[in-house]
Amino acid sequence: MLLDERIVPGSIQRRHARRRESHVAALNEWAEDVGSRERRKVPWFDPESGGVGAAVLVLLQDPSRVAAHGSRLISRHNNDPTAGNTHRVFTGAGLLTSMTVHWNVVPWWVADPDIPAEQRLSLAGAARRARPHLHSLLDLLAALQVVVLLGREAQRAWDASGTSLPGVPVVRAPHPSPLAFNAIDKGTGRVNRELLREAVDRAGAAVL
């Protein structure tokens, strides 16, 4: 399932060919519209995900370089350490790829060197600019049973957006990047990877 043309030739091309499948067609049309309006490279939703039928929305801060310029997909199968940690933790909790849809509070890579210098924003500034897109995305995800916010930036952006989904619990967890994954949480003195696994287990219990 790895998305890397060097290691698995044709893997990205085959996944791109599926981006108009019924469960992700509306999401990818939405992503393309956001990219066009913002004049940014916005990756597609992964056809392997649950798409509009996903029970779990997983939100991080913004796409990685690999997602923005490599696979062009927001996917647990991207060949980068954050995606790898995410896939292992969610799979371990029984949350298969088809049960989740992964996205970011900022749909484009904030540090993308293709963005003209005079147009670049901080992550917080980009999150403010992207708030309307977060709200319109949620309108497309009618089957949600739980939202998982990975990392402080995603959590801050979610709170600042004023988003409310009655009846849908919001689970907060550490970021799955290698730096955060093995760090010690100052509040509890525990390793973040343990806190992440426990949080994702809670999300899994809400839908399984």
Residue 162 lies in a domain: yes
Residue 3 lies in a domain: no
Mean pLDDT of 51-77: 97
Q: What percent of the chain clears pLDDT 70, i.e. is strictly above it? A: 100
- Both tokens of 147, joined, read 């939202």
Residues facing 57 on adjacent strands: 101, 147
Residue 6 lies in a domain: no
pLDDT, the chain, mean = 96
Name the pLDDT band for 208 (thresholds 50, 70, 90): confident
Check the CA dihedral 28-29-30-33 and report its sign.
positive
| Residues of the domain holding 203 | 11-207
pLDDT of residue 164: 87
Torsion of CA 141, 135, 153, 109, to 10 degrees: 80
pLDDT in tens, 102-133: 999 999 999 999 999 999 999 999 999 999 99
Alpha-carbon distance of 23 to 73, in angstroms, equals 15
Residue 100 lies in a domain: yes
Name the pLDDT band for 80 (thresholds 50, 70, 90): very high
CATH number of 38's domain: 3.40.470.10
Residue 35 lies in a domain: yes
Supply the pTM of this predicted model. 0.96
3-state SS, one letter per residue, for the chain: CCECCCCCCCHHHHHHCCCCCHHHHHHHHHHHHHHHHHCCCCCEECCCCCHHHCCEEEEECCCCHHHHHHHCEECCCECCHHHHHHHHHHHHCCCCHHHEEEEECCCCCCCCCCCCHHHCCCHHHHHHHHHHHHHHHHHHCCCCCEEEEECHHHHHHHHHHCCCCCCCCEEEECCCCHHHHCCECCCCCCEHHHHHHHHHHHHHHHHC
Residue 42 lies in a domain: yes
Residue 1 lies in a domain: no
Check the CA dihedral 207-86-12-132 and report its sign.
positive
How many structural domains is the chain composed of?
1
pLDDT of residue 20: 98
Mean pLDDT of 121-149: 97
Chain centroid offset of residue 115 CA: 21
Q: Which amino acid is at 57?
A: L
Residue 5 lies in a domain: no
Mean pLDDT of 179-191: 95
pLDDT in tens, 2-39: 999 999 999 999 999 999 999 999 999 999 999 999 99
Mean pLDDT of 39-47: 97
Mean pLDDT of 183-199: 96
**Residue listed under structure tokens 């287990």:** 201
**Residue listed under structure tokens 């949620």:** 138
Alpha-carbon distance of 61 to 150, in angstroms, equals 8
